A = this chain, B = another copy of it.
């Protein structure tokens, strides 16, 4: 995540990491589950953002329950539309970063990128970055010095740049409101 953000910073793109597990997020598929639900504050950040990257660890070869919950809550806001009548996530771009000690990164990435695409995000090419180790128990990204893995670092770079390229393109040339306007 920091690798990608460092490239954002070089391009003067502001970013913020929200560690979702530190918040009390209610289960549900609405924008606001009421008292005590800390999702609405996070959702405001998503609505204000041009780029959304979801990061997740892997358990049993799958994205975490917290990442699943985030996708559910984003889905809960998918009924909203922008001022042109398109889904609210139109003109936003999405990406995914996955680490685990072993196996499951592509499955988690496919799941998250599909979820984002299905609710209105644009998925530029090569916006999944991951590190996993060899099969079996073993050290995680930091201990294993995953940041020395050339493949992972190259993907982080391509991902950062393509998110920037598409975000700029969509700000200059928003998706025309033709054929994709929904009844809200």
A contact residues vs B (CB 8 Å cutoff): 7, 21, 27, 29, 59-66, 68-69, 71-72, 75, 87, 89-90, 102-107, 109-111, 113-115, 117-128, 130-137, 146, 149-152, 154, 157-158, 160-162, 164-166, 169, 172-173, 175-176, 178-180, 182
Contacts and interface: CB of A to CB of B under 8 A. Distances in A.
Contact of A59 (B75, B104, B117, B123): B75
Contacts of A75: 59-60
Contacts of A169: 169, 173
Given A104-B107, A165-B175, A136 B118 contact: no
B126 A123 contact: no
Contact of A65 (B69, B132, B136): B69
Given A103-B103, A110-B111, A118-B106, A152 B136 contact: yes
A132 B178 CA distance: 27
Nearest to A127: B117
A64 B72 contact: yes
Contacts of A90: 125
